[in-house]
C-alpha cells in the first residue's frame, strides 16, 4: 500500500486535495532588504539589473560557511560586480573563494575575480567563504555595484519618479484604444513610460500617449502607466482605466499566454507512493498540450511562505531513467529534486510557465496570520519563490486558501477583505512580470463561501482564479445520496442547491469577477460509494467505495477500466459496478465542459492532478482539444 493516505484528508467543495503536514527542515536564502547605502562610482542602472542574495549554508558554532549569489536580472551582460555589506561585531570572513574579500572594521567588500566578472542576462555566479564567529547575525546594509541588493527601484541619492496621472481612453475600436496621461515628475528628469495592460507591460514610450492595437473585439482591458527616470528607476503605478473594445467576441482579457489557459497541478508527494515524476509529463505527451503547471504545495506557517517538502522539492537525486533529459543528478550539484526536473522540462518546452502553489486543504490554517501583515507575508513568499537556487524555475505564485472568512479544515475569521489585502500585497511585491493567481471555492449556494469574501476586489490583483469546481459531493456523506462530485449544472434531485459549476461561475461573475479571470476546474479522479443498488444518482449507500490510496476516491486511469461509465448527468459521467457507484469525468464530458467554458468567455481550465490521467495523457488531450 502507498504511504499517501496522510497527505489526503477528507475535504469538500474543491479543496484541491490535502497535503501532508509534517514539518521538513530546509535552508532558504535571504533576499536582503534595501538599506542605507554608500554611493559608489558605478552605473545607476545596476539597481534594476542585478540582485545579490546571501545564504548561510552551515554553522558549526564557532564558525560557519557563507555564500553570496549575484544574478543578472537585466537584458545586457554585467562586466563586473562588487558587493558590500556589514556583519555584526565578532563576525567576519576568514578564507574566501571565487572572490577577493577585504574589510574595514565590520564593513566587508567582495569583488569578482578575473574569470567570473562577466554575467550574461539571466545567469548567476556565486562565491563562498568560511566565516569566523558565531555567524548568528545577518548581513546588513548590502549594496551591489552601489545600488540595492534586492534589485529594487531605488538608486542611492536619487528619488524615484512620481506616479503618472490615471490614463484616459479615447478612439476605442474593435481592436484598438488610445491612451493619454498626465506626465510624472522627477528631480532629474523622466526617461520613458511603461504601459501595462492587465498588469503586464505591453509598450515603453517616451511621450504621454500610446495606441494599443491588436486587441479583441468586445473585450474588457485594464491599463495603468509607470514612469522611469533617467537613472533607470521606476516609480509607482498610476491609477487604472478600464477599456471595453467595441464589437462582439470573447477575447482572452489580456491573458498572459495569449490563448486559453490549460493548467495542471503537479504534487510534490506524487514522487513517493505514486512514483509519478516530472518526466511523466513529457513521456505522456501532456507537456506539449498544457500552458501552466501549479507545483503543490508550499506551506504557510507563522504568517510566512515556507518549504513544503525539501527532499522532494530540491534534494531528491534523480537517476538517468527518471530524469527529463536522461542525465542523472550528481551528489554535489546545487539543485536536485522536482525543481531541477521542472527546470529541465521548461528547457524542453519553453512555452510552459510554472507557479508555486501555497496552502491547500491541510496548510490553509496559516493564512489567517498572514492576513494580519500581508506585506510581510508577501515579502516572505517572494524571497522563497525567488531564491537564487530556483528563481528561474518559477514564473509566479498561486495561493490556495481554504477558505478566507469561512471554514475548511479550520475556520477563518479574518474578514471579507482579507483575501484582497493578501493578493494586493503579493502583486505589489511580485510586480507585473510575475503571475499571481489563487485557487478558490466553488460554493455557489445562497450565503455560501463565495458570498463571504470579496473575490471581485481580490481579482483586481490576480491574473486568474482556479475555481475548484469539483468535490461538491462525496462519501463523507457515508449513506449518500449518490451524486456526481463535479456537476457542470444543477439537476432535479441535486442534494444541495448551488453546488455546481454553472452556479459558482455565475455568482463570481455577478460579484464582479471578469469571466476571463476564471478557470473551470476538472478532477482527474472519481468519488464513490459502496453498498449501492441504484444505478441512477440519488441512491443510498453504506460507506465509501474502496480506493487505491484512500476510500471514496480513485484515479481516472483506474476507474476507466475497473468501473466503466453507465450514464451521464449534469455534464459528468457516473458508473455503477457491483455495489460500487462512482462519478468522474471522461474525455467526452471534458470536451463538453471545455465548450461550455469557451461559451462563457472563461480564461480556460485547470485540473487536479496529472498523476490521475492515463500514461498517454488522454484527459489532458481532451482539455487541450476542447479549448482550441
CA-based R_g, the chain, Å = 26
pLDDT tens for residues 569-620?
A: 999 999 999 999 999 999 999 999 999 999 999 999 999 999 999 999 999 9
Res. 462: pLDDT tops 90? yes
pLDDT tens for residues 128-143?
A: 888 888 655 578 888 8
The pLDDT value given to residue 158: 64
* CB distance 192 to 228 below 8 Å: yes
Exposed, middle or buried by CB within 10 Å (0-12, 13-18, 19+), for 64? buried
Question: In the structure grid, which three cell numbers stand for residue 505, read together?
Answer: 461561475
What size, in residues, is the chain? 628
The pLDDT value given to residue 215: 81
Mean pLDDT, the chain, as a whole number?
86
Res. 557: pLDDT tops 90? yes
Mean pLDDT (whole number) for 104-112: 92
The separation between CA 299 and the C-alpha centre of its own chain, rounded to angstroms, equals: 13
Among 379, 386, 402, 609, the active-site one is: 402
Matching fold, domains 35-148 and 168-244: yes
Q: For residues 207 and 180, what is the distance between their CA atoms, to the nearest angstrom?
A: 9
- With pLDDT > 70 as the criterion, what percentage of the chain qualifies? 88
- Top CATH class, 168-244: mainly beta
**Cβ contacts of residue 231 below 8 Å, gap of 6+?**
44, 45, 47, 155, 158, 188
Q: For residues 606 and 620, what is the distance between their CA atoms, to the nearest angstrom?
A: 10
Res. 61: pLDDT tops 80? no
pLDDT tens for residues 69-79?
A: 898 887 788 88
Q: How confident is the model at residue 15 (pLDDT cuts 50, 70, 90)?
A: very low
The separation between CA 164 and the C-alpha centre of its own chain, rounded to angstroms, equals: 30
3-state secondary structure 466-492: EECCCCCCCCCCCCCCCCCCCCCCCCC
The pLDDT value given to residue 12: 37
Cα dihedral: 328, 333, 337, 341 (round 10): -60
pLDDT tens for residues 165-208?
A: 999 999 998 888 999 999 999 888 898 998 988 766 788 899 99
Domain boundaries, the chain: 35-148, 168-244, 256-523+586-627
The pLDDT value given to residue 248: 60
Exposed, middle or buried by CB within 10 Å (0-12, 13-18, 19+), for 385? buried
* CB distance 481 to 538 below 8 Å: yes
Pair type for strands 261-267 and 292-301 = parallel
Q: For residues 139 and 135, what is the distance between their CA atoms, to the nearest angstrom?
A: 9
Question: In the structure grid, which three cell numbers stand for residue 82, read together?
Answer: 562588487
Taking residue 249's Cβ as centre, other Cβ atoms within 10 Å add up to 13
Q: For residues 492 and 319, what is the distance between their CA atoms, to the nearest angstrom?
A: 53
Q: How far is CA 446 from CA 71, 405, 443, 450, 506, in A?
A: 50, 16, 9, 9, 12
* CB distance 79 to 49 below 8 Å: no
CATH superfamily of 256-523+586-627: Glycosidases (3.20.20.80)
Cα dihedral: 580, 586, 589, 590 (round 10): 140
Q: For residues 623 and 604, what is the distance between their CA atoms, to the nearest angstrom?
A: 9
* CB distance 437 to 400 below 8 Å: no
Question: In the structure grid, which three cell numbers stand for residue 196, read together?
Answer: 501595462
Taking residue 242's Cβ as centre, other Cβ atoms within 10 Å add up to 10
Q: How confident is the model at residue 500 (pLDDT cuts 50, 70, 90)?
A: very high
3-state secondary structure 373-425: CHHHHHHHHHHHHCCCCCCCCCCEEEEECCCCCCECCCECCCCCCHHHHHHHH
Q: For residues 608 and 400, what is the distance between their CA atoms, to the nearest angstrom?
A: 13
pLDDT tens for residues 224-273?
A: 898 988 877 778 888 888 788 887 643 333 333 348 999 999 999 999 99
* CB distance 483 to 474 below 8 Å: no
Whether 386 sits among the annotated catalytic residues: the reply is: no
Enter the CATH code of domain 35-148: 2.60.40.290
The separation between CA 402 and the C-alpha centre of its own chain, rounded to angstroms, equals: 16
Amino acid at each position: 500500500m502507498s504511504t499517501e493516505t496522510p497527505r489526503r484528508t477528507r475535504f469538500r467543495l474543491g479543496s484541491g486535495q490535502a497535503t501532508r503536514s509534517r514539518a521538513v527542515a530546509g535552508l532558504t536564502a535571504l533576499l536582503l532588504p534595501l538599506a542605507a547605502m554608500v554611493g559608489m562610482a558605478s552605473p545607476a542602472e545596476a539597481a534594476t539589473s542585478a540582485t545579490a542574495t546571501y545564504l548561510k549554508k552551515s554553522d558549526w558554532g564557532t564558525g560557519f560557511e557563507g555564500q553570496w549569489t549575484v544574478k543578472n536580472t537585466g537584458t545586457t551582460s554585467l562586466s563586473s560586480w562588487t558587493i558590500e555589506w556589514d556583519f555584526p561585531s565578532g563576525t567576519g570572513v576568514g578564507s574566501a573563494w571565487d572572490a577577493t574579500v577585504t574589510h574595514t572594521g565590520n564593513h566587508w567588500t567582495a569583488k569578482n575575480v578575473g574569470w567570473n566578472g562577466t554575467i550574461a542576462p539571466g545567469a548567476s555566479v556565486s562565491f563562498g567563504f568560511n566565516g569566523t564567529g558565531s555567524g548568528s547575525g545577518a548581513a546588513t546594509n548590502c549594496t551591489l555595484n552601489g545600488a540595492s541588493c534586492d534589485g529594487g527601484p531605488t538608486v542611492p541619492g536619487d528619488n524615484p519618479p512620481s506616479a503618472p496621472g490615471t490614463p484616459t481612453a479615447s478612439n476605442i475600436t474593435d481592436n484598438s484604444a488610445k491612451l493619454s496621461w498626465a506626465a510624472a515628475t522627477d528631480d532629474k528628469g523622466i526617461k520613458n513610460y511603461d504601459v501595462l495592460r492587465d498588469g503586464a507591460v505591453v509598450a515603453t514610450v517616451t511621450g504621454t500617449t500610446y495606441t494599443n492595437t491588436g486587441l479583441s473585439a468586445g473585450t474588457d482591458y485594464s491599463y495603468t502607466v509607470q514612469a522611469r527616470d533617467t537613472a533607470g528607476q521606476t516609480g509607482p503605478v498610476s491609477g487604472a482605466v478600464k477599456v471595453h473594445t467595441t464589437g462582439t467576441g470573447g477575447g482572452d482579457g489580456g491573458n498572459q499566454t495569449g490563448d486559453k489557459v490549460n493548467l495542471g497541478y503537479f504534487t510534490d508527494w506524487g514522487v513517493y507512493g505514486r512514483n509519478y515524476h516530472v518526466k511523466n509529463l513529457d513521456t505522456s505527451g501532456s507537456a506539449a498540450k498544457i500552458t501552466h503547471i501549479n507545483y503543490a504545495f508550499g506551506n504557510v506557517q507563522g504568517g510566512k511562505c515556507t518549504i513544503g517538502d525539501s527532499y522532494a522539492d530540491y534534494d531528491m537525486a534523480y537517476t538517468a531513467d527518471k530524469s527529463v533529459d536522461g542525465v542523472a543528478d550528481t551528489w554535489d550539484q546545487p539543485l536536485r529534486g522536482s525543481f531541477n526536473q521542472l527546470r529541465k522540462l521548461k528547457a524542453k518546452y519553453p512555452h510552459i510557465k510554472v507557479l508555486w502553489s501555497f496552502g491547500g486543504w491541510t496548510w490553509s490554517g496559516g493564512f489567517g496570520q498572514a492576513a494580519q501583515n500581508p506585506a510581510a507575508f508577501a515579502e516572505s513568499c517572494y524571497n522563497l519563490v525567488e531564491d537564487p537556487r530556483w528563481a528561474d524555475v518559477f514564473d509566479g505564485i498561486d495561493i490556495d486558501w481554504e477558505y478566507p472568512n469561512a471554514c475548511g479544515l479550520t475556520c477563518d475569521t479574518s474578514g471579507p477583505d482579507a483575501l484582497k489585502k493578501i493578493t494586493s500585497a503579493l502583486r505589489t511585491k511580485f510586480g507585473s512580470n510575475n503571475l499571481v493567481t489563487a485557487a478558490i471555492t466553488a460554493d455557489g449556494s445562497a450565503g455560501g463561501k463565495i458570498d463571504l469574501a470579496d473575490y471581485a476586489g481580490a481579482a483586481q490583483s490576480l491574473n486568474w482564479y482556479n475555481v475548484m469546481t469539483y468535490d461538491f459531493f462525496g462519501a463523507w456523506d457515508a449513506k449518500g445520496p449518490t451524486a456526481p462530485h463535479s456537476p457542470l449544472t444543477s439537476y432535479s434531485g441535486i442534494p444541495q442547491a448551488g453546488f455546481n459549476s454553472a452556479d459558482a461561475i455565475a455568482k463570481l461573475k455577478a460579484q464582479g469577477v471578469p469571466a476571463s479571470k476564471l478557470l473551470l476546474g476538472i478532477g482527474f479522479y472519481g468519488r464513490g460509494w459502496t453498498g449501492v443498488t441504484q444505478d441512477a444518482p440519488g441512491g443510498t449507500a453504506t460507506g465509501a467505495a474502496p480506493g487505491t490510496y484512500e476510500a471514496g476516491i480513485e484515479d481516472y486511469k483506474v476507474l476507466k477500466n475497473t468501473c466503466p461509465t453507465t450514464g451521464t448527468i449534469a455534464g459528468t459521467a457516473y458508473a455503477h459496478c457491483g455495489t460500487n457507484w462512482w462519478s468522474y469525468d471522461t474525455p467526452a464530458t471534458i470536451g463538453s465542459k471545455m465548450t461550455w467554458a469557451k461559451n462563457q468567455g472563461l480564461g480556460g481550465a485547470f485540473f487536479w492532478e496529472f498523476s490521475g490521467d492515463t500514461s498517454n495523457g488522454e484527459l489532458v488531450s481532451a482539455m487541450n482539444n476542447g479549448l482550441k
